[in-house]
Amino acid sequence: MEETENTQDAGEATEMLISFEAEDYLREAGKWASFIAMAGFMFSLLTVISAFSVEPLVAQLQHTYGSAIEKQALSNGLTFMFILFGILIFLPSLYLYQVGVGFKNGFNYADQPSLNMAFEKLKSYFKFFGILIISFIVFYIISIASALVNGGGVR
């Protein structure tokens, strides 16, 4: 692989050659990205559809365990969580789909802007998961600190 000195403005091309082997790997990665994205879209759709079928489940729980369960609050909370999970599944799937399309168009039609867009969306995909992981770590730290301060809820 040959690389020239990067002295040009952002957005301008520097000469960098992609070997046939690397191109083949990127084409295959693009196909897998498209497949995983389609599966993600399906799971996202099923999750959102499931959000609107929570109320009968909560009604059954209330019937089984008595009226100690606040039906409306639990229903709304679970519906909100399912929709949130659907969105959290949809966004990375969208990024992966755009990566797959960008790689396909970039290599099939020698379209550099499509290839650039694919790498931009790949960066967004990794950034999304990085932020999500940081959010989970912060949530766990707050949960553990809260449990320690409150004595773990055992009295």
- Residue ranges per structural domain of the chain: 20-153
Residues facing 16 on adjacent strands: 3
- The tens-digit pLDDT sequence of the chain (155 residues) is 444 454 455 556 678 888 999 999 999 999 999 999 999 999 999 999 999 999 888 888 887 777 666 788 888 999 999 999 999 999 999 999 999 999 999 999 999 999 999 999 999 999 999 999 999 999 999 999 999 998 865 55
Distance CA 144, CA 74 (A): 24
Query: Is the pTM value of this prediction over 0.85?
Result: no
